[in-house]
Each structure stands twice: as structure tokens, then as C-alpha cells.
Amino acid sequence: MSAKVADVMTRSVIAVRRNASFKELAVKLRDERISAFPVIDDDNRVIGVVSEADLIAKEATAGGYEDLTGPLVGLLHRHELEKARALTAGELMSKPPVIVRPDDAVSYAAQLMYDHRIKRLPVVDGGPAGWHRQPDRRTQRLQPAGQRDPASDHP
């Protein structure tokens, strides 16, 4: 029997609404000591994910590429420029979200993470239920079944 996402997921989730401001996101990331949020709509459905990388892209490219010209620059940085103009979670988020369900196999979640080159997946069961994330290779230990490393409880 293969392990299920429910067996290894982090159950604490701090979600944000699509209208949350960039400043709210930055403050919440810092205060909650997390690295990403699922973005939810009015029905609590996950519609995207905002990560530290999204916020960094906004800060790094804000005002930085408008003066550069040429088709290659435009192609390479169009997505980053869109992030730089974002004012809310809904504009900044990566979408559509790549999600898993608690009953999905861990191997399936790992394949999604590999295919999409992402470090975490929202676990959805009606609404946001948790996170499945890459194990931290620096602190990963073999653990008896049912035990988790408490250091891995943040996305």
C-alpha cells in the first residue's frame, strides 16, 4: 500500500482572499513564518498560490524592464512584468493551482511537483486542507510510520 498525501501533509493552512494587497501578503508571510498561501475565492475554493518567489519577482522587476527593448527581452520578462504590476493576491498568484487531495498517493504528488517544478502543493478537500511539500533534504530523517518531523510543519 502506498503512502497517501493525508499521511504526510501539513494540516495548518493560512489562506488569503484574491483581494489581499501585496503589503498584506508580505506582512503575513513574515509574521506567520511561512513561504506561500493558497488564494481562495468567495466559496473557499483554491484558485491560485502566492509564494515568496512571486513576491520577489514583483519586487525585483518593479520598474526594472520597461526601458529595455527588443523581442527577446519582452518574451523572457513578460510574465515577470505582469507580476511587477500586480497589486493583489489575485493578480500576483500563480494559476491555475496545481493541487492534490488527501487520498492521492504521495508518489502522484511528487510527480506533479517534479513536472511543474514547484516545491509545495495545496491539499484540497472542499477547501484548503493542508500542504504537501518537498522534504527538506538537510533535516530529513527516516522516521517510524506515523511520526513527523515538527520542523516540516510550515509550507
DSSP 129: E
Are 36 and 94 spatial neighbours (Cβ–Cβ below 8 Å)?
A: no
- What are the boundaries of each domain within the chain? 5-150
pLDDT at 87: 87
**E strand residue ranges, the chain:** 16-17, 36-40, 46-51, 120-125, 127-133
CA R_g for the chain: 17
CATH of domain 5-150: 3.10.580.10
What are the angstrom distances between the C-alpha of 40 and each of 12, 21, 58, 122, 129? 15, 14, 20, 11, 12
Question: Rounded to whole angstroms, how far apart are CA atoms 1 and 12?
Answer: 26
pLDDT at 133: 79
pLDDT at 42: 93
pLDDT at 111: 94
Residue type, 78: R
pLDDT at 128: 87
Q: What is the mean pLDDT of each run of 10 residues along the chain (155 residues)?
A: 88 93 91 92 94 79 56 58 79 92 94 92 90 58 41 43
pLDDT at 86: 80
